[in-house]
Amino acid sequence: MTEKRSPLYKNKTRIFRPNETRQIIENIPKVEHKTMFKALLFSGMRHIEMQRFQKHPEWFNGTNIYLPVLAQKKKKRKQKDRTVHLSAAGKEVIYAFINLKKRLPNYSAWDENLKRWGKKAGVEVDVSQGIISAKSTRKTYESYLVSYFPHLTMQIAMSQGHTSITAMQHYLNTGFDERDKLEMKDFVEGWS
């Protein structure tokens, strides 16, 4: 029997351990929603950025996604534009994502979907600590990258549109254990 591990949170947002991410993916009933979830996860992009990217698949060059100012429009953004680096699995899922006929649902609908799929997957949430939300995939993936590649924190931060200070303050010391770090490999391998 495996030991029970405590849920992880960052700034009131639920962060998924790799096994929880797999459980959620397994419990998403529609293939197109699985693809959307994976695209958001493996890119670490904000929901609105992914919606804009879906209208501009030319931003993907087969290796990375270039997000111009038009894609972000976040008032507090640290960079005017940025290049989103992808893992090997991320590149595959982005190809699938840009070929979807269905559009990514609006933020609140996606938020509710994630909560429902998390509950169905048995992903525990202590609402006094935080919630599963549309921010969970982005925060989860940046946490994986910084935990797995601590020596690349600056490159990861830039890819995510953060400063290295933000990455260190929010994503280092997330609480992943050695088992988590081993299980992250499939998610982050080939990230560059």
Per-residue pLDDT of the chain (192 residues; tens, 9 = 90+): 456 789 999 889 999 999 999 999 999 999 999 999 999 999 999 999 999 999 999 999 999 999 998 887 655 555 678 999 999 999 999 999 999 999 999 999 999 999 999 999 999 999 999 999 999 999 999 999 999 998 998 899 899 887 656 555 555 667 899 999 999 999 999 997
Helix (H) or strand (E) holding 163: none
Alpha helix stretches (DSSP H) within the chain: 18-26, 31-43, 47-55, 69-72, 88-98, 107-121, 136-148, 153-160, 164-170, 178-183, 185-188
Quick one: which of 48, 47, 71 has its CA closest to 58? 71
Distances (CA, A) of 63 to 66, 72, 116, 139, 183: 10, 20, 32, 22, 23
- Asked whether residue 99 is assigned to any structural domain, the reply reads yes
CA angle 117, 131, 17 (to 5 degrees): 65
- Asked whether residue 80 is assigned to any structural domain, the reply reads yes
- Asked whether residue 190 is assigned to any structural domain, the reply reads no
- Asked whether residue 183 is assigned to any structural domain, the reply reads no
Burial 30-54 (b: 16+ CB within 10 A, else e): eeebbbbbbbbbbbbbbbbbbbbbb
Range of the domain at 20: 9-177
- Asked whether residue 191 is assigned to any structural domain, the reply reads no
Q: What is the pLDDT of residue 175?
A: 85
- Asked whether residue 185 is assigned to any structural domain, the reply reads no
Q: What is the pLDDT of residue 63?
A: 95
- Asked whether residue 92 is assigned to any structural domain, the reply reads yes
**CATH code of 139's domain:** 1.10.443.10
The domain total for the chain is 1
- Asked whether residue 187 is assigned to any structural domain, the reply reads no
Residue carrying the six token digits 């080939």: 190
Which amino acid belongs to residue 176?
Answer: F
Residues ≥6 apart with Cβ < 8 Å to 69? 80, 81
Q: What is the pLDDT of residue 168?
A: 57
Measure the CA–CA gap between 68 and 186, rounded to whole angstroms. Answer: 29
